[in-house]
Amino acid sequence: MRKKASKGFSVIELVIAIGIIMVVLLAAVDIMLKIFQAQDKAVAVKDVFDNARFSMELMTREMRTATNIRYMGDDELPPSGCPSGLEYTSHNQGSAQERYYFVKDTNIDADSDPDTLMRVAMTIEGLVDCTLAQELTSPEVRVMRWGLSWSGDELGPTDGQPRWTITMTIDSRNPRFGSKTQVNLETTVAPIFSDL
């Protein structure tokens, strides 16, 4: 008499099925990890762009309506206790306010390089106190380079069209991305008001 074949899977069939499932699961996990890494990098790039754009827009908006624009540091001494920076009188929203921008080391990372763009307004006593400065860039990014250059005729009532060029390089503090998220910005600002 013949035995009836039992229904079910053999051991070999089970091993092959488990192997195929494992390969599919490993591929799915790898894809998910790459998606998470791409999302983290996208957030880092967005932080860098947002910080660079905000800082540059604020400076250019104030400089467009400013007078007495000058770089403090090479020929002129910066305010007491302040590093080299840009000083001007802002005329936004109908009132005049002295402003001072500079880059400072905030000691968030291990190096001692300047890495955070700062902004300070003149005090009521008419002094620039850099200890009261506000950070314009967030702790997630660092300012790698910040530069100012002036071009045009000498400032004064017959100055033609003087202009300031601001350059900035910002990247992420996240060591996984760093230079992969670097943004270089440059803009030129021509003040509306002439210094008389």
Mean pLDDT of 154-159: 56
Mean of all residue pLDDT scores within the chain: 80
Token digits of residue 143 = 């300012």
State yes or no: pLDDT of 9 exceeds 50. yes
User: What pLDDT is stored for residue 174 in this prediction?
Assistant: 80
User: Is it the case that residue 69 has pLDDT exceeding 90?
Assistant: no
Spell out the domain ranges in the chain: 23-189
What was the pLDDT predicted at 63? 84
State the greatest distance between any 2 C-alpha atoms of the chain, in Å, as a whole number: 118
CA 144, CA 182: separation in Å to the nearest integer? Answer: 9
- More confident: 134 or 28: 28
* Report field, pTM of the whole predicted structure over 0.75: no
- Provide the percentage of residues in the chain whose pLDDT is more than 90: 14
Place of tokens 């270089």: 184
**More confident site: 107 or 81:** 81
Quickly state the pLDDT bin for 196 (edges 50, 70, 90).
very low
Distances (CA, A) of 164 to 48, 154, 186, 189: 23, 12, 10, 5
